């Protein structure tokens, strides 16, 4: 039975003690052991409490990709009782300003490559001190100097910036002792403000507690007891730590079991990704459909040795059957698709290794209740499609300083309305049909974009596809399909013919548009809302 911790500081302390001499994180060829991360994060905790004078519950923003500094700062903040606010490094100044102001963050750790955007708005926020770090700051001497010089002077990847009050992370670590007074925590204390909803409107901070995240770690370990062998697993960390899925899986689940995380700063650089994982003996690959699709077609990746790879977990967006099939052919790896939300810390369900059902999101985790309801909130029977609702120890406390928004999705009985349309099968497995807001209504029939995209992407000449609903005088809405070709000669007529063969009439696209690329979040999720807004703008023009 997996060990259960009430608070994250206890989980972190356990990992430091139990796995001290094992490798914890590797990035760009340099590895930190658990003991080294323990020492460095203790220095960060000391600095936050004693030099900056932050108090338990104060907010600290972290704006970095997957580099060695991220876990060091993360664990230091958690141990000091400071609430972590994860900030996407690619955010615009407006997005950064909103998140810093809304959270009331008092300090910011930022990678110098992306610091210019924050510098332009920092005066409008409550941030008093900014701690900057260069890409290779935790690498050894000569290598550190060389990498940082090339990044700054040769590649010119660090735009000029200036903060009113800033300090360098290396100076912090060099001058600060690895000792601090340990605060006491309760399970209900907030530990992370994880912002969500940016794809639908103003981003809201989900209040995730020690109890939420600790419970979700225990739930994952209990749900898949045969997957996580202590001190033996090598995890490929391509999804960014600032995303709740990677934050939990790499920063907590892997860490608490002595896993070795291979950090990928930029997963879009496929050459660097392959170089980073080659020869590492990877056993667990955390991925997303769009990245899997790209790697399936990348010859250097296909040439890797996958003999040690036990499982690939897919999340963040729907896994298409064609991508899953090719991935299994390329890697020989099982694919366990799961489901979660920022508001559930994040994992709700997953496919157990002993009985993976491709096309489903598996079974609910231990202590997790699920139901599907109609538009009036009435529970539906097994096999009926409705909105998925979730209740369990991983469900958030609510949205930060937004009680009205919280009340819209979280009932007094603890049920979270997910906004996803799902069906509960007879065997207990769950299947997501689509996002409630993405559903297309054609002549009174519900049409789900995921189904259309899944079918269309089996066409050998199609690389990616996305479906949306557009206004139509005859049917209310009609399906519009956006396609990225894999073969330049592909025509609209060929796509229409393919859809006619594989989709019933009302599900077939009425409009097709070829594109060079599709808009995506930084994690790789296709942004249907951007396709919808662009279509509306074109129509207005």
DSSP-derived 3-state class of residue 281: coil
* CATH tag for 439-540 (out of 3.40.50.2300, 3.30.230.70, 1.20.1250.20, 3.30.300.30): 3.30.300.30
**Number of neighbours of residue 526 by Cβ within 10 angstroms:** 22
**Residue 331 and residue 329: Cα distance in Å, rounded?**
6
Surface-to-core class of residue 325, CB atoms within 10 Å of its CB (0-12 exposed, 13-18 middle, 19+ buried): middle
pLDDT confidence of residue 197: 63
**Residue 386 and residue 446: Cα distance in Å, rounded?**
12
DSSP-derived 3-state class of residue 485: strand
Q: What is the model's pTM? A: 0.86
Q: 359-382: b or e for each residue (b if 16 or more CB lie within 10 Å)?
A: ebbbbbbeebebebbeeeeeeeee
pLDDT confidence of residue 465: 96
DSSP 103-118: HT-SEEEEEGGGHHHH
> Contact 195/205 with Cβ under 8 angstroms?
yes
**Residue 217 and residue 228: Cα distance in Å, rounded?**
12
**Residue 55 and residue 52: Cα distance in Å, rounded?**
9
Structural Rg of the chain based on CA atoms: 23
Nearest to 522 by CA among 298, 314, 242, 208: 242
**Residue 313 and residue 307: Cα distance in Å, rounded?**
17
* Beta carbons within 8 Å of 167's beta carbon, 6+ residues apart: 129, 130, 131, 132
**Residue 282 and residue 250: Cα distance in Å, rounded?**
14
Alpha carbon distances (Å) from 264 to 116, 275, 297, 350: 23, 10, 19, 24
> Contact 151/169 with Cβ under 8 angstroms?
no
> Contact 50/179 with Cβ under 8 angstroms?
no
- CA 289 to chain CA centroid, Å, is 12
Q: Which residues pair with 62 in a beta bridge?
A: 86, 109
* Beta carbons within 8 Å of 38's beta carbon, 6+ residues apart: 16, 20, 178
**Residue 440 and residue 443: Cα distance in Å, rounded?**
10
Sequence length of the chain is: 541
- 166-168 and 190-196: which strand pairing? unpaired
* Beta carbons within 8 Å of 303's beta carbon, 6+ residues apart: none
> Contact 532/468 with Cβ under 8 angstroms?
yes
pLDDT confidence of residue 245: 93
**Number of neighbours of residue 241 by Cβ within 10 angstroms:** 24
pLDDT confidence of residue 199: 36
**Residue 226 and residue 334: Cα distance in Å, rounded?**
14
Angle at 304 between CA 301 and CA 292, to 5 degrees: 35
pLDDT confidence of residue 69: 98
The 3-class SS string of 131-145 reads EEECCCCCCCHHHHH
Peptide bond into 347 cis (omega under 30): no
**Residue 202 and residue 204: Cα distance in Å, rounded?**
6
Nearest to 527 by CA among 219, 316, 272: 316
DSSP 78-93: HHHTPEEEE--TT--H
Q: Please list the rounded mean pLDDT of every run of 10 residues in the chain (541 residues).
A: 93 98 98 98 98 97 98 98 95 90 98 98 97 98 96 96 97 97 95 75 88 98 94 96 95 98 96 98 93 94 97 84 92 94 96 92 97 95 96 98 95 95 96 85 81 92 95 86 97 96 90 96 87 70 49
Q: What is the largest CA-CA distance in the chain?
A: 71
* Cα dihedral sign, 253-72-314-283: negative
pLDDT confidence of residue 49: 97
DSSP 527: -
């Amino acid at each position: 039975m997996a060990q259960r911790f009430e608070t994250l500081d206890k989980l972190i302390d356990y990992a430091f003690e139990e796995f001290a001499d094992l490798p914890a994180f590797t990035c760009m060829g340099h590895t930190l052991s658990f003991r080294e991360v323990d020492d460095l994060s203790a220095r960060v905790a000391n600095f936050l409490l004693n030099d900056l004078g932050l108090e338990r519950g104060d907010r600290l923003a972290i704006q970095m990709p997957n580099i060695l500094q991220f876990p060091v700062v993360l664990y230091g903040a958690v141990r000091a009782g400071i609430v972590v606010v994860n900030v996407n490094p690619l955010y615009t100044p407006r997005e950064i300003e909103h998140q810093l102001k809304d959270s009331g963050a008092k300090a910011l750790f930022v990678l110098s490559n992306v610091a210019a955007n924050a510098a332009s708005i920092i005066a409008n926020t409550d941030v008093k001190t900014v701690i900057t770090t260069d890409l290779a700051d935790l690498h050894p001497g000569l290598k550190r100097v060389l990498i940082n010089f090339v990044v700054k002077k040769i590649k010119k990847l660090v735009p000029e910036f200036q903060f009113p009050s800033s300090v360098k992370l290396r100076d912090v670590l060099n001058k600060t002792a690895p000792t601090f007074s340990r605060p006491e925590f309760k399970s209900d204390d907030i530990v992370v403000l994880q912002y969500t909803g940016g794809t639908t409107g103003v981003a809201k901070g989900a209040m995730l507690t020690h109890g939420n995240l600790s419970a979700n770690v225990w739930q994952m370990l209990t749900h898949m007891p045969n997957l996580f062998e202590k001190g033996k697993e090598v995890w490929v960390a391509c999804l960014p730590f600032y995303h709740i899925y990677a934050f939990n899986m790499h920063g907590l689940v892997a860490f608490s079991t002595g896993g070795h995380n291979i950090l990928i700063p930029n997963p879009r650089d496929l050459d660097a990704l392959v170089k980073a994982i080659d020869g590492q003996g990877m056993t667990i690959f955390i991925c997303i459909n769009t990245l899997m699709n790209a790697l399936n077609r990348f010859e250097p990746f296909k040439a890797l040795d996958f003999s040690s790879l036990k499982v690939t977990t897919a999340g963040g967006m729907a896994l298409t059957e064609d991508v899953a099939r090719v991935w299994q052919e390329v890697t020989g790896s099982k694919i366990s698709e799961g489901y979660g939300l920022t508001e559930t810390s994040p994992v709700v369900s997953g496919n157990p290794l002993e009985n993976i059902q491709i096309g489903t999101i598996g079974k609910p985790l231990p202590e997790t209740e699920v139901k599907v309801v109609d538009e009036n909130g009435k529970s539906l029977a097994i096999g009926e499609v409705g909105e998925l609702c979730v209740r369990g120890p991983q469900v958030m406390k609510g949205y930060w300083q937004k009680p009205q928004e919280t009340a819209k999705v979280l009932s007094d009985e603890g049920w979270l309305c997910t906004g996803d349309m799902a069906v509960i099968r007879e065997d207990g497995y769950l299947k997501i049909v689509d996002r409630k807001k993405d559903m297309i209504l054609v002549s009174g029939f519900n049409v789900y974009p995921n189904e259309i995209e899944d079918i269309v992407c089996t066409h050998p000449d199609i690389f990616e596809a996305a479906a949306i609903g557009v206004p139509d005088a005859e049917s209310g809405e009609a399906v519009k399909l956006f396609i990225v070709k894999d073969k330049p000669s592909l025509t609209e007529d060929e796509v229409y013919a393919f859809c006619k063969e594989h989709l019933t009439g009302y599900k077939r696209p009425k409009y097709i548009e070829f594109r060079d690329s599709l808009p995506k979040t930084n994690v790789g999720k296709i942004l249907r809302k951007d396709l919808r807004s662009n279509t509306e703008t074109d129509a207005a023009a």
